[in-house]
Amino acid sequence: MTSMQKRNALHLIAAGALSICATGLLGACSEKKAEFRGVDITGAEYARDIPLTDHNGQPRHIKDFAGKVVVVFFGYTQCPDVCPTSMQELAEVKQMLGKDGDRLQGIFVTVDPERDTPEVLKAYMANFDPSFLALYGSPEQLAAVAKDFKIYYKKVDGKTPTSYTMDHSAGSYVYDPAGRLRVYNRYGSGAQALAADVKVLLAEAGG
């Protein structure tokens, strides 16, 4: 091999090494872990589905909302503060997303199916955004879903049989457009933080 051939061979080897390095760097960048403002629970093996009925009478599952970021909140319509605040923030998030607002699905799961009839739930959702859905189920169905989501709820008796309140967990579960649970948004985090996480998930999905 002549000296010229040796130099050419070395150049080819160097170029190949650079190409491999560049590919490796690109791979590392593409696998960079998403950074969320909420609690990253990617890979969690709970809160897998919401097999309940919406206020229009249609059975629902997480897979029904493929292509959208889904935010699930548990509450009840007679909740004085936490529930309306959380749902209003979710409506604000949809507005912040602009044209991508249609790629956000708000889900409200009632922990008070005794009083929260489909008619009551539909009217309640209309206060925030007509595209949001409220889900309900039998006491047994609700208990099974709550167990899967690791949420707490308990009836607190009032002065009359119908004036009771409900103690319950306050936080939202955020799913990516592929239906995977990704983020737990703590109550009080604010609309800006939730909107930021929704944007990250939409960007991941190519939005």
Per-residue pLDDT tens digits for 113-161: 999 999 999 999 999 999 999 999 999 999 999 999 999 999 999 899 8
Distance between CA atoms of residues 200 and 96, nearest Å: 14
Give mean pLDDT, residues 165-189.
95
Specify the length of the chain in residues: 207
Per-residue model confidence (pLDDT) at position 17: 43
Does the pLDDT value for residue 25 go beyond 50? no
Tokens encoding 189: 């985090």
Averaged confidence pLDDT in the chain: 88
- Per-residue pLDDT tens over the stretch 88-103: 999 999 999 999 999 9
Does the pLDDT value for residue 37 go beyond 90? yes
* pLDDT higher at 207 or 71: 71
Does the pLDDT value for residue 22 go beyond 50? no
Q: Which amino acid is at 174?
A: V
Does the domain formed by 39-204 have CATH 3.40.30.10?
yes
- Vertex 75 angle, CA 69 and 78, to 5°: 135
Task: Output the 3-class SS for the chain.
Answer: CCHHHHHHHHHHHHHHHHHHHHHHHHHHHHCCCCCCCCEECCCCCCCCCCCEEECCCCEECHHHHCCCEEEEEEECCCCCCHHHHHHHHHHHHHHHCHHHHHHEEEEEEECCCCCCCHHHHHHHHHCCCCCCEEEECCHHHHHHHHHHHCCCEEEECCCCCCCCEEEECCEEEEECCCCCEEEEEECCCCHHHHHHHHHHHHHHCCC
State the pairing for strand pair 181-186/59-60: unpaired
Distance between CA atoms of residues 38 and 200, nearest Å: 11
